[in-house]
A and B are shown apart, each in its own frame.
Chain A
Amino acid sequence: MFEKLVNIICNYVEVEPENIHPESRFMEDLGFTSFDFMSMLGEIEDEFDVEVEQTEAANIRTVQEAVDYLEKLTAES
């Protein structure tokens, strides 16, 4: 899951995959804009065939939190 997410992240920001860590924060460390982040969530919906809840997703700050949320979603579906 982490690796898949890293691949998606690289579509939005110019960061080398090896520099993306579970504790990396999307906005502060990876340089995501708010719209980059929203667009990535949309891509995740397609990629993993899940429905992201925008209000819940708004609380995601780090890559690990995104992985946890995604794992929860895929387990549910």
Chain B
Amino acid sequence: MSAGSGERIGEDMLCSTVREILAGTEKKYGPEDAIRYKISKNEIESKTYTQLKEDSESFSNVLKDMGEQGSHIAVIGMTSYAWLVTYFGTVNSGSVIVPLDVNLPAEDVCDLIARSDSTVFVYDEVRKDVAAIAKERCPKLKTIISMQQAEHDDHAYSFRKLLEEHRGGFDYDPQPDQLCTIMFTSGTTGKSKGVMLTHRNVAENATCLDMKIPERIVIMTVLPIHHAYCLSMDILKGVSLGAVICINDSLMRVAKNIKLFKPEMILMVPLMIETMAKKLEEASLLPAKIVKNQVFGKQFHTICSGGAYLDPSYIDLFKKYDITIQQGYGMTECAPVISVSQAWNIRKDAVGQLLPNCEAKTVDGELWVKGSSVMQGYYNMPEETAETLEDGWLKTGDLGYVDEDGFVYLTGRKKNLIITKNGENVSPEELENALSTNRLVGEVLVREKGGVIEAEIYPDQDYVKKKRIKDVREKLQEVIDEYNRTAAPQKKIYSLVVRDTEFEKTTTRKIKRF
């Protein structure tokens, strides 16, 4: 069965390049605020759509002058105005942006810079550790730019200074089928894969569906900026609507920043929704309206949920407080949204209705999708690409089906990948391999349990005897602690189960996962 659905928007709203999105909104809302961010505890600074366009054109000029127009530009940092200028300036000049996870260990970041063939690295000072070693580790890297540094020096260019030196418009029209971005996502083999997306992939994903969100809406962006979901829905969708995009400076201060920026809508992952639900329910003796106004403010009305599966009971709970949750389903390989469940069109147990640019079918139980958002492949990984793409169809790795109206239902996962509640993909094999390097670990299985990553370990009995280890559990916990010390936050292990018998094996001597 194959189905496609959703409400297609007017041709005037559909954009096929990122440049069209920004230029269209700038024309309409030029002098209005585009980005708001904190410069101190309670002080906000704003940039208009015209400033965003002009600054990004200045950055395009920088790349052109450096002979890097069309090159791969890696960027790392928390969400910031400079990050966004780097993004738009890069892709609108026909160059390829490579957004990197700000929480990755330095060695991993260097590996991704090298594997993406990036020649320019733009960094936030929070990752000066990477900047210090990047040139040595990445042979192709030529230029390093610091987002905060005031002056150029031998090591790095000053982002601010470069923009000042390269003022002026930039006239270039990227083509819809030109490569726009390489976004890294965890693979089942443990080695992350660079998802190649064109301008059409990302721009049409963000603009093909009319979600009935009013223009000039105030949104607050809280998710990590290197995520496809945040970039597509907060930034590109936001810009296409002429939204005021407020930057949350830390996950610690979501509640405080809601009071400061007064957003009407926030994009969240299920983990955040669960915490916010606790905050609402904490004061459940008070009238719902008062509680909602205290936690989210009077103006707030919508949460978009994505990145991982959300328990539908939260939709009802938030409804009590007059807050609508719109749930989405997708993956980076599909730029990323595949389906969206809208307030007026919710079907229980479905993860929403297919986007109008997407069709789907089920093959051997697995959901396959096709459409203008499906990636071009994994960068320099032809085998993995061939395993995932077939005649333009993307194999999602999810078991599921679509009904005749285009609603998507998921029944399980085919791929062995942990999707955490904050939308991170984690490969169990990668963690198992890391733990296995310790002699005490005989056999290990990593899985998700109760919202955290759990490792179940059968200790190496010979090693236990040889070393006369008395408290095996304590020693194994030390192994985990040592691993956690350098692991990325989403890969940390918070639960340990110690086995006293070997794992059950398949005929090929692999541990049975399920």
A: which residues have CB within 8 A of B?
11-12, 27-28, 31, 33-36, 38-39, 41-43, 45-46, 52, 54-55, 57-58
Contacts and interface: CB of A to CB of B under 8 A. Distances in A.
A52 B250 CA distance: 11
Contacts of A52: 252
Nearest to A45: B252
Interface of A is mostly: helix
B494 A35 contact: no
B423 to A, nearest CB: 11
B422 A54 contact: no
Interface stretch (B65-73, B107-115, B238-246, B274-282): B274-282
In which size bucket is the chain B interface?
20 to 34
B485 to A, nearest CB: 9
Contact of B271 (A31, A34, A42): A34
A39 B494 contact: no
23 contacts: A11-B279, A11-B282, A12-B278, A28-B495, A31-B450, A33-B271, A33-B275, A35-B271, A36-B275, A36-B278, A38-B250, A38-B251, A39-B252, A41-B252, A42-B252, A42-B254, A42-B255, A43-B255, A45-B252, A54-B250, A55-B126, A57-B252, A58-B489
A39 B274 CA distance: 12
Contacts, number: 55
Given A39-B251, A55-B126, 20 more contacts: A11-B279, A11-B282, A27-B494, A31-B450, A33-B274, A33-B275, A33-B451, A34-B489, A35-B271, A35-B274, A35-B275, A38-B251, A38-B254, A39-B279, A42-B250, A42-B253, A42-B255, A42-B256, A46-B256, A54-B250
B494 A28 contact: yes
Contacts of A45: 252-253, 256
Contacts of A41: 252
B317 interface: no
A43 B256 CA distance: 9
